[in-house]
Amino acid sequence: MGQLRSIIAGLVASILLSSFVLVEAGDAAAAAREIARPGPKPSPPAKCEAPKFRIVVDVGHTPDSYGALSARNDPEFGFNFRLARLIAAKLKSEGFAATRLLVTDGKARPSLFKRVGAANEGRADLFLSVHHDSVPDKLLETWEFDGANSYFSDRFSGHSLFVSRQNPHFAASLMLARMIGRQLKEQGLHYASQYTLPVMGRYRRQLLDKDVGVYRYDGLVVLSRTRSAAVLLEAGSIINRDEEMEMNSPERQEAVAGAVAGALREFCEKR
């Protein structure tokens, strides 16, 4: 684990030095100002000109607070980082020159406000948070991987999309989430339908689009407190042993990045 952590920390350090704009020290103060405000103030809906459309591609979690652990004991943060970096690169190459990859450090809860602060201070037009899915602890089963006792659940698989009704641009967020879902479906991928089931407990969500897998998740900080439209993508399940391998494959990563870029082109045309 220590070795994994240092690899990820190294990855992040190298990206911090690259051309992407990231959360810097001043954003903590910005985030604090955000918290003090009663609620997000909507910016006027921006007309979409691709080169000027400010898209923030957010890497879910941080090296310290890495999210879920995969069936083969790899942290979710690494999966999120690799896919979000590919999505951001794809968007830039397709003319969305103002796309930023957002990598955040620190502990889980404060990092959420840092993300929102960075997006709002940067006057983002769109916030897309990239994650990979797991299951509630009670569904975990044990197996041995690489000589270590490990956890998995092969019961569910697929991607899912989340939007918040508390977001000031809920309608636009929902429209984009549907477009991403539609594109993923056209790539032959299926969505994770378990979020409506009682077995999901406190993770149970309202399904807003049963055709392409868009759920409502009001309380999520990065969706409800961003002033721009915001969508969270769970790209696939890394606790499912087969899907974890797929999420590691360049083909699947390209399919997801292509779906997001296709949806953004469509979204931009409709603005």
Query: In Å, how far from its chain's centre is CA 244?
Result: 16
Q: Which residue is nearest to Zn ion (CB)?
A: 131
- Measured over the CA atoms of residue 42, residue 46, residue 48 and residue 50, the dihedral's sign is negative
Q: What minimum distance in Å lies between the beta carbon of 145 and Zn ion?
A: 21
Q: Which amino acid is at 180?
A: I
- CA terminus-to-terminus distance, the chain: 45
Q: How far is CA 213 from CA 51, 146, 170, 205, in A?
A: 29, 34, 16, 11
| Residue 76 in tokens | 């979710």
Closer residue to Zn ion, CB minimum distance, 60 or 181? 60
Q: What minimum distance in Å lies between the beta carbon of 160 and Zn ion?
A: 11
Closer residue to Zn ion, CB minimum distance, 67 or 75? 67
Closer residue to Zn ion, CB minimum distance, 104 or 268? 104
Residues that bind Zn ion (CB under 5 A): 60, 67, 131
| Residue 34 in tokens | 């955000």
Q: Tell me 39's DSSP state.
A: S
Closer residue to Zn ion, CB minimum distance, 129 or 173? 129
Q: How far apart are CA 134 and CA 54, in angstroms?
A: 30
Q: What minimum distance in Å lies between the beta carbon of 123 and Zn ion?
A: 26
Q: What minimum distance in Å lies between the beta carbon of 80 and Zn ion?
A: 7
Q: What minimum distance in Å lies between the beta carbon of 79 and Zn ion?
A: 9
Closer residue to Zn ion, CB minimum distance, 43 or 73? 73
